[in-house]
Amino acid sequence: MEKLRYSVTVNAPVQDVWTTMLDQAFYREWTKAFGESSYEGDWNQGSEIRFLGPDGDGSMGGLIATVEENRPHELISLRYVGLIVNGEVEATSEAAKAFVGAHEKYAFSGSGGSTTVDVELDSDEQFVSMFDDAWPPALAKLKEIVEARS
């Protein structure tokens, strides 16, 4: 797995960035760079969260993760535990093995009324270019949404 890093600085307080980034309605908006998506669950430490998008057959597919750490306005850390295929959790296929055990972290740091969001994630080599294409515009959209609301 490769460790990927992305970052954005938003002209807004940490609390505003945190709340907007994790809110269900805004999440759907800023993550459109990854395709139509949503999540089920919550961001509380120890919770299961499902990141969902439509499968080719119209059912919901996606990824399932455990929230390993949640330090409000500071850090969210996830560990992926499987894929969701036709509504079922799959953790043993070759496709699932590309994600199982991968981590994703969002770190928030504020300074002078601005907030920097640092995203760090593990990626199988086959997904690096997809993430490199999607994360920068997703973070730019997050910045746009937060700054328009602040």
pLDDT at 34: 85
pLDDT at 37: 79
Check: CB of residue 69 under 8 Å from CB of residue 57: no
pLDDT at 99: 83
pLDDT at 147: 97
C-alpha angle 111-121-92 in degrees, rounded to nearest 5: 155
CATH number for the domain whose boundaries are 2-149: 3.30.530.20
pLDDT at 88: 81
Q: Rounded to whole angstroms, how far apart are CA atoms 121 and 123?
A: 6
Q: Which residues of the chain form beta strands (DSSP E)?
A: 2-10, 38-41, 48-54, 60-71, 75-85, 88-90, 103-111, 114-123
Q: Structural domain boundaries of the chain? A: 2-149
Q: What is the mean pLDDT of each run of 10 residues along the chain (150 residues)?
A: 96 96 92 86 95 61 92 97 84 84 96 96 90 95 94
Q: Rounded to whole angstroms, how far apart are CA atoms 107 and 125?
A: 23
